[in-house]
Structure 1
Amino acid sequence: MEIGTVLNLELEESGRNHICYCKIIEKNDKYLIIDYPIDEKTKKTKILPRKKLFKVTFVGKDNVVYQFTSEIVAKVKLNIPALAIRIPLPEKIERIQRREYVRVETAVDIAIHSFNNQFTPFVTVTSDVSAGGLAILAPKHISLEIGTIVEAWFVLQMNDNQFHYIDTKTEVVLNREANKRINLVSLKFITISKANRQQIIRFCFDKQREAKKKELI
């Protein structure tokens, strides 16, 4: 966990789960110093009681999602209001994303452009998304042979209603027929920033969590 890492805090109050986001602004051997958490739904500062246990989820340097349990231990005086949470023992940090990049089935609007004008740019939707690449629905008349390099523009709407705009170079790695008019084309990210990859991981993680909640209803 590095300074600047986004933490997802989940705690239960009055029988309801609350999700908040914050960032690590300082750290030492025992504590992480975080800015005040923002409630995912209200977009307001969330006051967390001391000694109240909550789950902390974050994306590691290896682009894998980890989770541990912690608590607020103190308020900290810095340039901005801050809180200290306890760092768990390494064996208490659970790796909850088993594959390198989790893939989720979801429809995200996406624009595809050719670098050498092989085809007219077109807008479509994804079939699935992961931090390693995505699959799109492409018209059959568009030539997307394996190895073709294309530019992909898409927007991710996160659970906190923030929008993240991603522009990346991709390579066609698979092209198979979906029906008489549409092909299912898999694209691998070639150039993508660490920050954008982490946003996609977070997006996929949120989608997984939504699916699990629906299964419980």
Structure 2
Amino acid sequence: MKIGTALTMEINNSETGEISKYRSSVIEKTAHHLLIDLPIDDKTNKTVFLPEGTHMKITYIGTDQTVYMFHTEIAARVKENIPALAITFPEKEAISTIQRRQFVRIDTAVDVAVHRAKDSFTTVTADISGGGISVILPESHPIDISERLDIWIVLQMHSGDFQYIHAIAEVIRVDDDNGVSKASLKFVSINESEQQLIIRYCFEKQLESRKKELS
């Protein structure tokens, strides 16, 4: 894990069963601890102060683009140049990996802007995951296999906030589905914190779907 790595934090309230989500990033790393920014609440976008001993689950994307997960707790509050938290960093054996094939892929329509040298166009996704998207192709804008596209994706998170994700994506497949052309795109360059936002968005949508099924 390198300095600046984006972290997603989940804290389970044992009394209510509610899971709160926060985001942070790594400031410094030692053999047994990570020094991280004060967490920002996903819903309020405000900095929160968590007490020592708070247990949480951390997920992050490594330099190999694999999603890693481990359980930890806040070891101390640290007063450096800026306020920070020290969390325990487990041994390698205690860090789990979530393979790329385990990225949650959901069927949903979100707005996408596609830019390339010869033209630009807007469309919507057919599905999305942390590894890429499938988009509906307008008839007037055919694309080629292996073509690389500069794309912007608009996500409305559970909190109601809009997040704008920028990525470079490669066209890996073009299909015709009952007269509708769809292109499957794989992310080849994306900021890891923005990729984390996509992963979080997919999990939120999956959770919403499960709640509807149970209601």
TM (normalized to structure 1)? Answer: 0.81
> Does residue 140 of structure 1 match 2:139?
yes
Partner of 1:187: 185
Cα deviation, residue 129, structure 1: 2.6
How many aligned positions are there? 209
- Counterpart of 2:174, as a letter, is N
What do residues 71-129 of structure 1 show as CA deviations (whole Å, max 9, x unaligned)? 11111120011111111111111113352865443322112345335xxx432101123
SS, match of residue 20 in structure 1: strand
Bigger shift: residues 142-151 or 90-99:
142-151
Conserved 8 A contact 2:129-2:202? no
Q: Distance in 2 between matches of 1:209 and 1:83?
A: 26
For structure 1, which runs of at least 5 residues remain unmatched after alignment? Answer: none
What do residues 9-45 of structure 1 show as CA deviations (whole Å, max 9, x unaligned)? 1112231211111111111111101121111112222
Bigger shift: residues 66-75 or 96-105:
96-105
In structure 2, the CA distance between the partners of 1:151 and 1:87, relative to structure 1 (3 Å rule), is closer
In structure 2, the CA distance between the partners of 1:125 and 1:73, relative to structure 1 (3 Å rule), is same
What do residues 142-195 of structure 1 show as CA deviations (whole Å, max 9, x unaligned)? 433435555433334455635234153x44432222233x211223445x24x2
In structure 2, the CA distance between the partners of 1:50 and 1:179, relative to structure 1 (3 Å rule), is same
In structure 2, the CA distance between the partners of 1:38 and 1:104, relative to structure 1 (3 Å rule), is same
Bigger shift: residues 124-133 or 157-166:
157-166
Partner of 1:111: 113
Partner of 2:36: 34
Partner of 2:201: 206
Q: Distance in 2 between matches of 1:27 and 1:98?
A: 26
RMSD: 2.7
Bigger shift: residues 147-156 or 64-73:
147-156
Conserved 8 A contact 1:173-1:187? yes
- Counterpart of 1:7, as a letter, is L
Greater CA radius of gyration, 1 or 2? 1
Q: Distance in 2 between matches of 1:90 and 1:213?
A: 33
In structure 2, the CA distance between the partners of 1:145 and 1:165, relative to structure 1 (3 Å rule), is closer
Cα deviation, residue 214, structure 1: 3.6
Among all aligned residue pairs of Structure 1 and Structure 2, give the percentage whose two residues are the same amino acid. 37
Alignment of 1:67-146 (within 5 A): 67-99=69-101, 103-116=105-118, 121-146=120-145
